[in-house]
Structure 1
Amino acid sequence: MFTIDQIKESHAKVKTGADFPNYIQDLIILGVKGYDTFVKDGCTEYYGVNNFTASTEEKYNEIAISSTVNKERFIQFLVMHQDGETDYLSFCNQAAQCGINKWRIDIVEMTCTYFDLEDNAVVIEKIPN
């Protein structure tokens, strides 16, 4: 089973959204099947085989999530982040402004799904290999 310390070591290599595909490859090696990251405080719950889970603590002060979803603007912010134009905390603030509550990485399906406060999928994207 994986540990939060192992995940943190892999995550430390991520400086921008452009580094994300390599991070996913590291998680696969560790045995992580997926994870949910909550925008409000950066807490992440990782899951693996046999219902194994490991969670992080809050990463930053709580951010209010807009109850109104702005999908088009969020996609613009997402592309900027993936191009390396924003850091993690800036992206989280932008996601919150656009009504994104959390994202779920499904490593088995190689998808990233962004959800609103009502747990509706707003954007689903394939993770590049």
Structure 2
Amino acid sequence: MFSLEQIEQAHQKVRTGADFPEYIQEIKSFGVIAFETWVKDSHTVYFGDEDYSISSKAQYADLDIAIESDAESFKKYLKAHQQGQTDYFQFCKDCAETGIEKWVMCLNTMTCTYFNLAGDEILSEKVPY
């Protein structure tokens, strides 16, 4: 199975959202089938076959997640991030500001789904690969 060290090494290559598809392909090759990232502190749980999972530590001090979701602003921030205009931490701050609690990436379907504090799906999109 994959290790947190492998994933962290792959993640170090990501500078902007434009680098995300290559990162996904690399961790998929390790056996990662899904992961869930929590905006509050960017800890992530990675899932593999046979109920295997590992969790990363918090990456920064807790962010406050807005109670009210703002899907339209979130979509603008996401687009800017995907075009390489913001770094990861700025994207996480933008998520918090617009009420995004977490995202779930499914590597089998290559979809990334964003959720608010109430657990409502705000956006689901295909990830290019």
Q: TM-score, normalised by structure 1?
A: 0.99
**Equivalent residues in 2 for 1:28-107 (5 A)?**
28-107=28-107
Structure 2 letter corresponding to 1:112:
C
Indicate the residue corresponding to 1:27 in structure 2: 27
Q: Does 2:121 align with 1:121?
A: yes
Which secondary structure state, in structure 2, belongs to the residue aligned with residue 18 of structure 1? Answer: helix
**Paired residue total:** 129
1:106 and 1:76 map into 2 onto residues whose CA distance is: 22
Following TM superposition, the consecutive aligned residue runs of length 4 or more in structure 1 with deviations greater than 6 angstroms are none
Measured after TM superposition, the shift of residue 82 of structure 1 is 0.4
Q: Which amino acid aligns with 1:68?
A: E
In 2, Cα distance between equivalents of 1:58 and 1:35 = 15
Q: For the residues of structure 1 that align with 2:30 and 2:16, how far apart are their CA atoms?
A: 21
CA apart distance, 1:119: 1.1
Equivalent residue letter for 2:50:
N
Identity %: 42
Matches of 2:25 and 2:79, distance apart in 1? 21
1:13 maps to amino acid: K
List alignment gaps of at least 5 residues for structure 2.
none
Amino acid in the other structure paired with 1:77? Y
Residue identity matched to 2:57: E
RMSD: 0.4
Residue type at the aligned position of 1:36:
E
For the residue of structure 1 that corresponds to 2:122, the secondary structure is strand
Secondary structure, counterpart of 2:50 in structure 1: helix
Q: Residues of 2 paired with 1:2 and 1:124: CA distance?
A: 26
Alpha-carbon offset, residue 11 of structure 1: 0.5
Question: Aligned partner of 1:61: which letter?
Answer: A
